[in-house]
Amino acid sequence: MSAMIETGLESTAVADAPELSLVVPIFNEEESVGPLIDRIMEAMSAFPTSWELVLVDDGSSDRTLLTARGYIANPGLDLKIVELQRNFGQTAAMQAGIDTARGRLIATLDGDLQNDPKDIPAMVKALEERELDLLVGWRKNRKDGLVLRKIPSWCANYLIGRITGVKLHDYGCSLKIYRTSVIKQVKLMGEMHRFIPAWVASVVPSSRIGEMEVTHHARQHGTSKYGISRTFRVILDLLSVMFFMRYKARPGHFFGSLGLGTGFLSALILLWLFVEKVVFGEDIGGRPLLILGFMLFLSSVQLITTGILAEMIARTYYRDDAQPNYIVRAVFQKVSPTQ
């Protein structure tokens, strides 16, 4: 007879690893989580190999967790629920689900019923046939508001593609299929879930990243967790992505290049003023150019020393113990009859 177990910060594998893990971060989706699980079970009923569902409750304050736990004992469902100690954000919740997943492949989707689980089997098949490491959903017929959602998303997708070099129509679609061995090489931080293809491109060739048209539904319950303010966060995150993709392992080159550039300008200015003072006898003591030259010199010293410190921090980063950016309160899953 199956039972439910609750553990602290770790869980024990109770069966052979499934072929596919479905990871769904959820936050205050009490009206959506039940229909979502039902739709997933219906969509995956004909899936030819084994699969599991990993729900990550990101500190919900409503009955989302209780509703989801009601499906634990369902005999046709391999369900694991990861409850985070508080609300850490979608990126951390997604990372928690990826860390928990046991499948050879991982599928991620939103918990608001806008992504359609029926697309998952076809996406898995396409990933294998096209020999990709990441397949991204493209919401070509997106059911969202034009001004607050679509236009900012189009602008963000264009900028991300231009800067990262990974050309996709829809970076923001949560419906994605990954090879587990690849996505577990990527550590998601901050609000970087929308840049996952760019991070994956840092460990595999961009030719192994593809996209596929998927169905998108209008939100049926609750309200969106995003607004127009997300556009400004995307721009800031994009600058961080650009820096990490190009200078993560060599930050000293970034700051050092700026430091050498400002130092060169400072040297030119001070040399010119020296010539004017010594050769032409000009009074340079009150000239703004002298102040600018010294300011550039000080900036150069600061940038170069910052680069040295950044190099030291980078080396510490690569030696860290990979501490996760979330805290798990409990894990709920079925126990096999033999345990």
Lowest-pLDDT range of 47-51, 53-57, 323-327, 332-336: 323-327
Longest C-alpha distance within the chain, in Å? 98
Q: Dihedral sign, CA of 291, 296, 300, 306?
A: positive
Q: What is the value of pTM for the model shown?
A: 0.74
> 150 or 170: whose pLDDT is higher?
170
Is residue 276 exposed (0-12), middle (13-18) or buried (19+ Cβ within 10 Å)? middle
Extract the tokens encoding 304. 């170069």
Beta strands in the chain (DSSP E): 3-7, 20-26, 51-57, 79-84, 105-108, 134-138, 176-179, 209-213, 328-335
The kind and range of the H/E element at 119 are helix 119-129
For residue 328, the cross-strand partners are: 84
Residue 56 forms part of a structural domain: yes
Residue 75 forms part of a structural domain: yes
Question: In this structure, what DSSP letter does residue 18 have?
Answer: P
Angstrom distance (rounded) from CA 80 to CA 92: 17
Give the pLDDT of residue 6: 44
Q: How confident is the model at residue 192 (pLDDT cuts 50, 70, 90)?
A: confident
Same domain for 304 and 216?
no
Q: How far is CA 162 from CA 152, 168, 180, 193, 231, in A?
A: 15, 10, 27, 18, 16
Residue 293 forms part of a structural domain: yes
Lowest-pLDDT range of 113-122, 265-274, 329-338: 329-338
Angstrom distance (rounded) from CA 166 to CA 200: 10
Residue 227 forms part of a structural domain: no
Burial readout 321-338 (b: 16 or more C-beta within 10 A, e: otherwise):
eeeeebebebbbbbeeee
Q: How confident is the model at residue 159 (pLDDT cuts 50, 70, 90)?
A: confident
Give the pLDDT of residue 149: 63
Same domain for 137 and 285?
no
Please give the average per-residue pLDDT across 113-140, as a whole number: 94
Question: Is there a contact between 68 and 330 (Cβ–Cβ < 8 Å)?
Answer: no
Please give the average per-residue pLDDT across 21-43, as a whole number: 95
> 88 or 319: whose pLDDT is higher?
88
Residue 205 forms part of a structural domain: yes
Residue 255 forms part of a structural domain: yes
pLDDT digits (tens, 9 = 90+) for 235-267: 777 777 778 777 877 888 899 999 999 999 999
Angstrom distance (rounded) from CA 258 to CA 98: 38
Q: Locate tokens 């129509």: which residue?
A: 169
Same domain for 213 and 290?
no
> 133 or 195: whose pLDDT is higher?
133
Residue 100 forms part of a structural domain: yes
Same domain for 136 and 265?
no
Decide: helix, strand or coil at residue 88: coil
Give the pLDDT of residue 325: 64
- Supply the range of the domain harboring residue 65: 3-144+170-222
Same domain for 28 and 176?
yes
> 62 or 171: whose pLDDT is higher?
62
Look up the CATH number of the domain holding residue 43.
3.90.550.10
Give the pLDDT of residue 3: 40
Q: How many domains does the chain have?
A: 2
Same domain for 208 and 73?
yes
Return mean pLDDT, the chain: 84
Extract the tokens encoding 67. 């509703």
Same domain for 307 and 175?
no
Same domain for 174 and 256?
no
Give the pLDDT of residue 11: 41
Determine the length of the chain. 339
Same domain for 256 and 211?
no
Same domain for 119 and 261?
no
3-state helix, strand, coil in the chain (%, to 5): 45, 15, 40
Of the chain, the end-to-end C-alpha distance in Å amounts to 10
Residue 66 forms part of a structural domain: yes
Same domain for 212 and 310?
no
Give the pLDDT of residue 303: 95
Same domain for 14 and 75?
yes
